[in-house]
Structure 1
Amino acid sequence: MTAYSGPVFDMAVKQFTVIADYLSIPEDVRPRLLMPKRAVTVSCPIHRDDGTTAVFEGYRVQHHLTLGPTKGGTRFAASVDLGEVAALAIWMSWKCALVGLPYGGAKGGIGVDPSSLSKRELEALSRRYMQEMIPFVGPHTDVMAPDMGTNEQVMAWFMDTYSMYQGRTVTEIVTGKPVSAGGTLGRREATGRGVAHLTRRVMNDRGIDSNRATAVVQGFGNVGSIAALELHRMGVKVIAVSDHTGALHRPAGLDIPGLIDHAAAHGSIAGYSNELVFDPEDVLTLPCDVVIPAAMERVIDARVAANLRCRIVAEGANGPTTPEADLILERRQDEIFLIPDILCNSGGVVVSYFEWVQDLQQLFWEEEEVMRREYQILDRAFDRMVMRAARDKVFNRTAAMAIGVDRVRGAKETRGLFP
């Protein structure tokens, strides 16, 4: 019996089982590595603008604190449930360990559609959530960050609420804040830039000329739009994008800067062009060099994996590929290079770590320094993954996750049973 359930959590369990078998981890050790240390469920009542009271359910899962405080985003989405949050926390643990950060994984969320809230209601809900979490979080216990449905403003409200209860400003309680409130330059762009940087690494290794390459991006939020913009600047033609409102396709390449301006002004890509409208279901399987799934979990299933017509899959989202699809991609790895999510989108947590360090020291870096350090860490983790995959003749996801799981396992064995 477990408190966690659902397809996303089941997927995290299946992935871990593959790694545990590969590493020959004893059966009695596996639950301690996999199961979260702590899960919190809270009720978040707020007054609506019409005078009524609404109650929303919030969650926070801390996977392990063996290597340091936990770290992870907070998601506001109607689909949020405890199982999804737990899976995301587990993946964050492997991600942080893979890139060498002194964190365990965490994740939080509220089951709410943020577009249904006014700004006042969103602020009230954000502050109430943090108020309920104060006994369980802290700069050296659990550090929050933005995720789907949250942003710099929400992080500022989190930080302010926590600070009021401490009686002093505690900027290091969250990352992803506005620069004016203790955030770091380059944090908002960090995940998308990291996706593009690693994609360029693979393109160079595979002899793909960026000026002749094409890409499609599924999900045009913060991660997808920045990744698309960086690829566009490299000379790559981004021929299709999609978001929750639909898809656009232009074989000659889309005007990515113009599309970003439109999405910023209107909240989505809807209304940008009637002539370029395309079926979102077919975006991922368009012929191209690079596919970037940057939206939700489980969008590349077995059918999509079998029909991919690309040379690189760069996972900007968390958990976009199902275990069944992984079996197909593993068979196709000579033709399709997978950059797994725990590496590909780790630029965000890397720069969040930089923000946390800068807040603790009260010493801030220039954006060029942030980017240089981010790319250095990503390149080092990429090289380790490629070397392990080649050495053991395993799939890239297996190699990346094994590095992360191995580090967590070693730390737990060294410290003993309690952490």
Structure 2
Amino acid sequence: MASVAAEDLAPIIPAVSSRVSSGVYSGPVFDMARQQFDHVADHLQIPEEERQRIFMPKRAIAVSCPIHRDDGSVAVFNGYRVQHHLTLGPTKGGTRFSPSVDVGEVGALAIWMSWKCALVGLPYGGGKGGITVDPYSLSRRELEALSRRYMQEMIPFVGPQIDVMAPDMGTDETIMAWFMDTYSMYHGSTVTEIVTGKPVDCGGTLGRREATGRGVAYLIGRAMEIVGIDPTQSTAIIQGFGNVGAVTAIELLRRGVRVIGVSDHTAAYFDPRGLDVEALTAFVRDNRVLRRFSSETLIDAEEMLTRPCDVLVPAAMERAINANNAGQLQCRILAEGANGPTTPEADLILALRRDEIFLIPDILCNAGGVIVSYFEWVQDLQRFFWDEPEILDKLYRTLERALQRVLSRAALDGLSHRDAAMALGVETVRQAKATRGLFP
């Protein structure tokens, strides 16, 4: 495969757009979301006077969350929630507990969620929230106290028809159960539909925890069919071994793919003969992170991204694929399991390598989670639940429709897969806003 150096693109890499005022939002992740929007808005020829209304979030909430620590002291954590638009229905999106959380990051994630929901045909706007905290630094009692306090602070701004939360980085189904219970106690009755990603015995749905990873693996399988790769003769590298990355690895293994590299924020392992995915999964289940799994297959995490493989899955943080490494990727399929893993500068490089690398953009690739969250919300509203085969069938059919829309639009307009997916999502939101008009 040919490589492209970042310096070769210096004359054509644009500065961050400032045509849409960012208001209270700042930071590289929000700037990235803004660049992506301006790029697709140029393609769609959206007038400047329309752009701010389409792009800027409707509402940003910042709260202080004080809790008693186990040692008797009081600690205060900053929490956020951003609701991008409510034009198509309530906002929908995850809640992450991470030291990097700020209002700019949360705002970008809410915006991407809007395009994602619109692309796959869900009646939602995008939402996202989080607390600036390392969840591993808290005891279980402290984690529960912080989770409940955050939801308590959000009660005036959320609801089953306003904003529906879900898990994200650093949160899980237990935290969603605490959210649901806290909201229900204030409401005076059990409101299961206030969050998704709950335990099944608390109104959750079968298959929700695995949904994002299963969706990533399904789309990788479809991409292999399109480009002519035999799964049983293929290899994969997965950056990020949380819920999404681990489930993706298991699902790819079931399809016969050899997983040769995995990493998280603590360690990276690479073995061209294949790693023991089941052992890795069990180790993380017991130890929460990959560190100390092995000393024999350790590799530098950045170097691992550019090793030869058929499938590369960035399923960790934003901006992992950038101008410095995009030209060195040696994969045939780039499946974006994370939100925003590829910078606009890297996209310019990937556009030059379109015949070499089949991109599955994030707003399509990781949409399985919000699709099955939608199924959970519908089941909770109706108090009628489906079995797992029915859920999987609906999930894969929804992803297939979205994939075909993206491929058709890319071919019709000569666009990259990301630009095609973004165009479809932005168009849907724009049309809905135009149809409803502006009140008052």
Q: Same fold (TM over 0.5)?
A: yes
1:122 pairs with one of 140, 143, 150: 143
Aligned to 2:183: 162
CA distance in 2 between counterparts of 1:302 and 1:80 reads: 24
The answer for unaligned runs of 5 or more in structure 1 is none
Q: Does 1:53 align with 2:77?
A: no
Q: Aligned runs of 1:369-380 on 2, under 5 Å?
A: 369-380=390-401
Q: Does 1:414 align with 2:427?
A: no
- State how far apart, in whole Å, the 1-side matches of 2:121 and 2:64 are: 35
Partner of 2:344: 323
Amino acid at match of 2:138: L
2-structure distance, mates of 1:161, 1:356 = 18
Counterpart residue number, 2:405: 384
Spell out, residue by residue over 1:312-334, the C-alpha distance to the aligned partner (whole angstroms, 9 max, x if none): 00000000000000000011010
For 2:222, the equivalent position in structure 1 comes to 201
- The correspondence for 2:235, drawn from 186, 198, 214, is 214
For 1:78-227, list aligned pairs within 5 A. 78-227=99-248
Aligned length in residues:
419
Matched, 1:300 2:321: yes
Alpha-carbon distance, 1:147 to partner: 0.3
Instruction: Give the distance between the partners of 1:121 and 1:22, measured in 2 at CA.
Output: 48
Distance 1:283 1:353 in 2: 35
Residue 344 of structure 1 is matched in structure 2 by: 365
C-alpha distance in 2, partners of 1:414/1:9?
28
Tell me by how many angstroms 1:418 deviates.
Answer: 3.4
Distance 1:72 1:55 in 2: 24
| Aligned match of 1:74 | 95
Give the match's secondary structure for 1:399: helix
* Secondary structure of the structure 2 residue equivalent to 1:36: coil
Q: Quick one: which of 305, 320, 323 aligns to 1:284?
A: 305
Deviations 1:93-138 (A, max 9, x none): 0000000000000000000000110000000000000000000000
CA distance in 2, matches of 1:352, 1:314: 21
What is the correspondence of 1:3-14 to structure 2 with a 5 Å cutoff?
3-14=24-35
| 3-state SS, counterpart of residue 67 of structure 2 | strand
Structure 2: how far apart are the matches of 1:132 and 1:277?
A: 43
Query: How far does residue 270 in structure 1 lie from its aligned partner after superposition?
Result: 1.7
Rounded to whole Å, the distance in 2 between the matches of 1:373 and 1:232 is 23
Letter in 1 for 2:346: A
* Cα offset, 1:268, TM superposition: 1.3
Q: In 1, distance between residues paired with 2:431 and 2:372? A: 25
Gap runs ≥5 in structure 2? 1-20
| Aligned position for 1:364 | 385
Instruction: Tell me how far apart the structure 1 counterparts of residues 267 and 292 of structure 2 sit (CA, whole Å).
Output: 10
Q: 1:246-298, CA deviations, whole angstroms, 9 ceiling, x for partnerless residues?
A: 11111111111111011101111222211111111111111000000000000
One-letter code aligned to 2:81? R
RMSD over aligned Cα atoms:
0.8
CA deviations on 1:34-85 (whole Å, 9 max, x unpaired) are 0000010001000000000000110000000000000000010000000000
SS at 2:182 equivalent: helix
Residue 62 (structure 1) aligned with residue 80 (structure 2): no
The letter of the residue matching 1:259 is: L
1:307 is aligned with what amino acid?
A: Q
Question: SS where residue 305 of structure 2 aligns?
Answer: coil
Q: Separation in 2 of the partners of 1:183 and 1:301?
A: 37
Query: CA separation in 2, counterparts of 1:58 and 1:303?
Result: 33
Q: What letter corresponds to residue 170 of structure 2 in structure 1?
A: G
- Counterpart Cα distance in 1 of 2:358 and 2:439: 39
Q: Name the amino acid aligned to 1:231.
A: L
Give TM-score, length-normalised by structure 2.
0.95
1:338-397, CA deviations, whole angstroms, 9 ceiling, x for partnerless residues? 000000000000000000000000111111111110000000000000000000001110
